[in-house]
Amino acid sequence: MLHVQQGQCGLCSHYGNGRPDSRVVQIRSSHEAKEDLTEACGHPKHAPLHLKVTAVSRCDGFEPAKA
């Protein structure tokens, strides 16, 4: 398991393409994620790229997910 910190994708509102499933909710509450888990990045600037990112990825478009 990886520890997810503030500023990383797992805690971003765009992680999971804006539709958090139970895995994304779990990451946000526990701040831990499996090393091989990837989710879509729903950031409008990156949408045309159809990115899949890990919970510990980062970018300048980070926006904290609502609690």
Q: Residue 38 and residue 52: Cα distance in Å, rounded?
A: 6
Number of domains in the chain: 1
- Is position 28 within any domain? yes
- Is position 63 within any domain? no
Cβ–Cβ under 8 Å, residues 67 and 54: no
Neighbours of 43 (CB within 10 A): 22
- Is position 62 within any domain? no
Domain containing 13: what range?
2-54
- Is position 60 within any domain? no
The predicted model scores a pTM of 0.90
- Is position 14 within any domain? yes
More confident residue, 21 or 12: 12
Each residue of 17-41: pLDDT tens digit? 867 788 999 999 999 999 999 999 9
